[in-house]
Amino acid sequence: MPTALEKIAEIEAEMGRTQKNKATNSHLGVLKAKIAKLKREILAPAKGAGGGKGEGFEVTKSGDARVGLVGFPSVGKSTLLSKLTGTHSEAADYEFTTLTCIPGTFRYKGCKIQLLDLPGIIEGAKDGKGRGRQVIGVARTCGLILVVLDASKPMTHKRIIEKELEGFGIRLNKKPPEIILRKKEKGGINITNTGIDFTHLTKEMISSVLKEYKINNADVTIRCDATVDELIDVIEGNRIYIPCIYVLNKIDSITIEELDLLSRVPHYVPICARKEWNFDDLLEKIWNYLDMYRVYTKPRGQIPDYDAPVVVPRDHNTVEDFCLRIHKSLVAQFKYALVWGNSVKHNPQRVGKEHKLSDEDIVQIVKKV
């Protein structure tokens, strides 16, 4: 009985032999769907499997945001953690120094950020090699991933790491495709493309992929020029979309010309962790990619507390979200809020729970009597 990995290899070989044209598009889409289902089997934990989850991999979330350091062994992740947070993480000139997940925290612009030093990824991590499942499993819980690369071989490592993370359902610097899938009891498959011309998909291909998943009745609305891989991602429903910064470490070992060339690549920040070069640029980019707002509290009759802002994600920035970050009971006691800042037309302005806040707004909550 062939294993899931052997089946994937057979399907990939078949895809390699298949000519790519309009006549074979649906068949290739079905083969991709088969691979996605097999990969899900590999990544899902075996039923009844004993044993622990792996020492050091159960790290309690703390702070306002979580950032994961991902990369090959000996690229400088432990040094970067130690320099940014003051947390000791064993660093040496040999591979696999870090064997568990080591957390540290640092503050930037009033935001407390948890930084996780994850063990080095190896090729085949997505298939369970090494401690790949634990490493990438923790990476899925992060609000931002820093892929740390050695300046002497950045592109080779970058491609491998992206492949490993993609294989585990992590999509870097991408947004979820605008595809809505609604399963129903009957009526067949109805596809609406809202005026978009498909260049990657056909209605036949969409139907074939859905039927591979045993979905025979569904309404599919597509508002973008989606690919078959994006359609499969929506059907699988377990993909994580995470912003990513590629941290190019050890820049003291390359020439100025090489550095200038590499720094033009999107989402890159060149640094030297050992000498703390360009940390200001890295921290600012981390803040921008986390996409957080600082909101200052103002007790009645007092000045705002500028030392301890309440940090909220930009996409969860209502007054109600602000209240929930302080304490769940505050929403039940809420009467209205007074807001000073860029989100209001005059200062202060009385607002309700639905009001959307801006960065560095000041909020005073008025409770029911």
DSSP 29-94: HHHHHHHHHHHHHHHSPPTT--S-S-TT------SSEEEEEEESTTSSHHHHHHHHH-------SS
Q: Provide, for the chain, the percentages of residues in helix, strand and coil under a 3-state DSSP scheme, each rounded to the nearest 5.
A: 35, 25, 45
Taking residue 168's Cβ as centre, other Cβ atoms within 10 Å add up to 23
CA 147 to chain centre: 12
pLDDT in tens, the chain (369 residues): 788 888 999 999 999 999 888 889 899 999 999 999 988 887 665 454 444 444 446 678 889 999 999 988 889 999 999 999 988 765 544 344 445 788 999 999 999 999 998 877 766 656 656 566 677 778 889 999 999 999 988 888 899 899 888 888 899 999 999 999 999 999 999 999 887 888 999 999 999 999 999 999 999 999 999 999 999 999 999 899 999 999 999 999 999 998 888 888 899 999 999 999 999 999 999 999 999 999 999 999 999 999 899 999 999 999 999 999 999 999 999 999 999 999 999 999 999 999 999 999 999 999 998
Tokens of 302: 């007092």
Helix (H, G, I), strand (E, B) or coil at 221: strand
Distance CA 107, CA 112 (A): 5
Cross-strand pairs, 361: 295
CA 351 to CA 330: how far, in whole Å?
15
Spatial contact of 144 and 173, defined as CB atoms under 8 Å apart:
no
Tell whether the torsion through CA atoms of 231, 143, 67 and 271 is positive or negative: positive
pLDDT at 95: 42
Q: In what order do the strands lie in the sheet with 310-313?
A: 310-313, 292-297, 361-367, 334-340, 349-351
3-class SS of residue 308: coil
Helix (H) or strand (E) holding 167: helix 154-167
Residue with tokens 């359609």: 231
pLDDT reported for residue 29: 94
- Cβ atoms within 10 Å, residue 66: 21
Integer Cα distance of 203 and 182 in angstroms: 16
Q: Write the pLDDT tens digit of every residue in 104-161.
A: 999 999 999 999 988 777 666 566 565 666 777 788 899 999 999 999 888 888 998 9
Percent of the chain with pLDDT over 70: 89
Domains annotated for the chain, with CATH where assigned, are: 4-44+177-236 (no CATH), 65-174+240-289 (3.40.50.300), 293-367 (3.10.20.30)
If DSSP codes are grouped into helix, strand and coil, which group holds residue 263?
A: coil
Decide: residue 149, CB within 10 A, 0-12 exposed, 13-18 middle, 19+ buried. Answer: buried
Alpha helices in 186-248 (DSSP H): 203-212, 228-236
Phi-psi domain of 79 (left: phi exceeds 0; alpha: psi -120 through 50; beta: other): alpha
Residue type, 162: E
Residue-wise pLDDT for 311-346, tens only, equals: 999 999 999 999 999 999 999 999 999 999 999 999
- Which residues make beta-bridge pairs with 310? 295
Q: Radius of gyration of the chain from Cα atoms?
A: 24
